[in-house]
Amino acid sequence: MKKQILAILLILFFVIFGIVTIWSKNAYEAKEVYVELVVAKCDIENAHIFGLMVLPKEAVHQDPTGHYVYKVERVAGAWGNEYITTREKVSIYSESDEQITLCGYSNLYPVVLYAEGAIQNGTRVCFFR
């Protein structure tokens, strides 16, 4: 009888511990990062023909593979719309002190200008108000 009670208590302990661990892991992964967005624009006449778009320099990042931006896409989530970052490679046409002109980039999606935390491809974000 004591062994059965001990076995039941042991099973309950592992079940409860497992549930708490799964809940805490999911709570950590569900963290959203607050971001400020910017929309690419261009004041050059007929720039859309060449695919030229202008962004602030802070929105364009660089690593050994080249230049990239994080665009924000709206996707259907479990509780409605969610906003997810997607890393997109870009080509630099020209550069000044404050802005960069991109070649071949379409401005269908807004681009992350500033993020409160670290972002990467697939990060769920929400917006500053």
Same structural domain, 95 and 114: yes
Same structural domain, 70 and 100: yes
Q: Which of 109, 115, 27 is nearest to 126 (CA)?
A: 115
Same structural domain, 25 and 70: no
Q: 46-80 burial by CB neighbour count: b if 16+ within 10 A, else e?
A: eeeeeebbbbeeebbeeeeeebebbbbeeeeeeee
Same structural domain, 69 and 119: yes
- pTM of the complete model: 0.67
Q: What is the pLDDT of residues 67-114, one digit of tens each?
A: 999 999 988 877 888 888 999 998 888 888 888 888 877 767 888 888
Same structural domain, 57 and 111: yes
Same structural domain, 25 and 39: no
The CATH number of the domain holding residue 70 is 2.40.420.20
Same structural domain, 75 and 119: yes
Number of domains in the chain: 2
Residues 23 and 77: their CA atoms lie apart, in Å, by 19
Residues 35 and 84: their CA atoms lie apart, in Å, by 11
Domain region containing 4: 1-30
Q: What is the pLDDT of residues 30-48, one digit of tens each?
A: 567 777 777 766 655 555 5
Q: What is the pLDDT of residues 44-59, one digit of tens each?
A: 555 555 667 888 898 8
Same structural domain, 25 and 37: no
